[in-house]
Structure 1
């Protein structure tokens, strides 16, 4: 069993803090990325394959990772998207009847490094206090100065465009070809469960590359447009912002999720901000300000939209609020068929409290078609 090798490994943060652990074998190369943590107690496969995590080293607060293996039907993309994994206890034994393989084999196929036996409670506390920052994973434990030099060359997530790294290279379709609801999805790093939610409601979906224009999407004659989740800073995505502006001006029913939410905000002149450590987990409380009801949500984002600018924007209303820090969790454009949320209503992993938003999207498309 590879666990017996217990190769020493190190995690070095940009502020010079060092965390030691073990790994299964020597890394073929050092791994770099922004360090972040997820508080979910389950759903690690969905997290590791979520395109929104591209370029990030993932710390799991759940102490047991790998215990239920992986299943080929539960990925949110075709491959692992995180840059590396940090955990407390890595399980080499799979204890689920319907698992296809162990997490060890799943990660080994893509050469993804794992450092375990790390004091993740101390690591997460450090990130919470000092904020998200770049980090490097290595088995070269005796050359910290060289590792720091390499780390200092790694770009900051602020200003980094990553949607191009995870978006489809060519458009494709799925769902019911005979459906009256034709949904164009701008793929900034779309999760498969978003597409499943649309298809399950009878939609015909065409997924477009991240840099597609408004005209590209409209040539397909969609009844609505969904701007997806994805990784990186939203500000460099100028073509997506321009597309969102056209969607709003032309009153095409539009739904934005996470990065798509930020894109819509930027299209309305609302700036985005890098968060201290982000929201990542499956138990984030949100309040729907229209109904007064609360919902528990799945979240994964390191950027947010500026609250003061949102409040002062006469064309925008806040529809949802994060109950932990009072940040903006959803907006609607007044008198326009456009809304967005800063969380994942499709879940995967996470609770299903917010899936009604897909019904709202379909209702909005139907209403707009009737009025047209």
Structure 2
């Protein structure tokens, strides 16, 4: 069956329908990872977005359920150049086609993803529609596309109630703003007992549990839409509990401390982004998935100082807070399938909590 991707600037791509046949409007973004498509599909940070994979062949090793970063896929739609029809892997349990259909996610294959990516790079991230309607009317659709917003998606992806990964070591409270599974596992593998809290949990409840440290997770959407969460993060900021934050958590901590964020032209999404550690001069290859960034142009050095920058464009990739046991990064040190260059930041957090 034919499918169409319609962008808000009027571009139309024609391909083949994959997954669900339903029609969706979403923010169209691209990911440059060459592998790890299941981790991309199950990353809650993609809620409210349709993902275009720039690597041309997707699905060749099928679906390996142990690799999921959450219990279900989150993108509104999936866009690929070529979808493998016959996956081959001893761990394979399903195909992407069946996986998308099971969770009612539409997609489109067979389009020129390189051309789509160039449009998004030149004009910036824009909204689009994936549809199987052949009698679509651009004059009706484009105003709908321009009016679309992702809305408050953190509430959509967070856990419904708190739960705990048992451990014999330090106790960590993990705020789930759309947490990838491997964040909690990275701490648990280091012996920590990790309690995962829903995003709207009050700071006083977390502090009453007397954790040794607090983790703020990744998540989807515009951080400025999380007004009530930012107020709670401010209370955590004012405490003396060590805090480590990743991605959306990094942005929320910045807003809680009085800093600012802004939307990027097309963001960073992929597993090949170089970041420089400003303390050591070392450069790490990192996994990233974000469309917003902390603005450091007017950064007050009495509040925080940059700790990492993106080598490609110079944007902020991390902050150290002055006179606080708080450090935050924009990238994903817990990344699976990789790269694992910056996984040692979890060890730094352990040490900051007084562990070894």
Q: Which band: TM-score by shorter chain?
A: over 0.9
Instruction: Name the counterpart of 2:31.
Output: 38
Is structure 2 residue 342 aligned with structure 1 residue 360? Answer: no
1:120 maps to which of 66, 89, 113: 113
Per-residue deviation at 1:313?
3.8
Is structure 2 residue 251 aligned with structure 1 residue 258? Answer: no
Instruction: Name the counterpart of 2:175.
Output: 186
d(CA) in 2 for partners of 1:125, 1:107: 26
In the alignment, structure 2 segments of 5+ residues that lack a partner are none
Is structure 2 residue 309 aligned with structure 1 residue 321? Answer: yes
Task: Spell out the pairing of 1:19-30 with structure 2 (5 A cutoff).
Answer: 19-24=13-18, 27=21, 29-30=22-23
Instruction: Name the counterpart of 1:47.
Output: 40
Q: Any runs of at least 4 consecutive aligned residues in structure 1 with deviations exceeding 4 A, and if so which?
A: none
Preserved contact between residue 247 and residue 253 of structure 1 (Cα < 8 Å): no
2:5 maps to which of 7, 11, 16: 11
In the alignment, structure 1 segments of 5+ residues that lack a partner are 1-6
Distance 1:334 1:149, change over 3 A: closer
Larger CA deviation: 358-367 vs 121-130: 358-367
Preserved contact between residue 20 and residue 104 of structure 2 (Cα < 8 Å): no
Per-residue deviation at 1:100?
1.2
Per-residue deviation at 1:70?
0.9
Larger CA deviation: 184-193 vs 210-219: 210-219
Is structure 2 residue 335 aligned with structure 1 residue 341? Answer: no
Distance 1:238 1:150, change over 3 A: closer
Per-residue deviation at 1:347?
0.5
Give the match's secondary structure for 1:222. Answer: coil
Is structure 2 residue 213 aligned with structure 1 residue 213? Answer: no
TM-score normalized with structure 1 length: 0.92
CA RMSD of aligned residues (A): 1.5
Task: Spell out the pairing of 1:278-317 with structure 2 (5 A cutoff).
Answer: 278-310=267-299, 312-317=300-305
Is structure 2 residue 259 aligned with structure 1 residue 270? Answer: yes
Instruction: Name the counterpart of 2:82.
Output: 89
Is structure 2 residue 165 aligned with structure 1 residue 174? Answer: yes
Preserved contact between residue 261 and residue 292 of structure 2 (Cα < 8 Å): yes
d(CA) in 1 for partners of 2:257, 2:18: 49
Aligned residue pair count = 355
Instruction: Name the counterpart of 1:4.
Output: none
TM-score normalized with structure 2 length: 0.96
Q: Output one character per residue of 1:83-130: Cα deviation in whole Å (capped at 9) or x when no partner.
A: 111110011111111111112111121121121110111000000000
1:241 maps to which of 222, 230, 236: 230
1:202 maps to which of 159, 168, 191: 191
